Amino acid sequence: MDYSQSYSYGYNEPESVFAAFFTGANLAIMLICLVVMVIAYWKIFEKAGEAGWKSLIPIYNIYVMFKITWGNGWMFLLLLIPFVNAVVGLMQLYKLSKSFGHGAGFFFGLWLLSPIFVLILAFGSSKYIGPNGISQSGYRADADSADKYKDID
């Protein structure tokens, strides 16, 4: 009986070149998407009256985003509680939508197609109203009249 086995660890050259090309292409596309999303969040922070650089610092950007959407940045600590964090994350997206004068439809867009709707929020005509869609003067703005309540005193 012959118990010898042979193993081959060689690579087929055309397949490895093909894989390397697509790995490099995927990496380039991912880096481009990352840069575009960083710019988008920078723009969202600036629209909300915060410094854009705050979107670059990993945990601080979550605190500032909760300050933009909830009015209280420390609410982000709820993300540390299991199962509650999923609900709080969805509520945060809804409040982000309301903070810029949009409604439930935009929330579903942020939830299901986040990169596209973040770009719309950043580079579109959306204006920051206030946390949860309530302006600084205390008036609630609906989606159609986001700028109607500007500078009311």
122 and 44 in contact (C-beta within 8 Å)?
A: yes
The residue count for the chain: 153
CA separation for the pair 121, 132 (Å, rounded): 15
Pair of tokens at residue 31 = 């880096």
**Model pTM?**
0.74
List the Cα angle 29/31/37 in 5-degree steps. 105
- The upper half-sphere exposure of residue 41, i.e. CA atoms within 13 Å in the direction of its Cβ, equals 17
From first to last of its 153 residues, the chain has per-residue pLDDT tens of 667 776 666 555 666 666 776 777 788 888 999 999 999 999 999 999 999 999 999 999 999 999 999 988 898 999 999 999 999 999 999 999 999 999 999 999 999 999 999 999 999 999 999 897 777 665 555 544 444 444 444
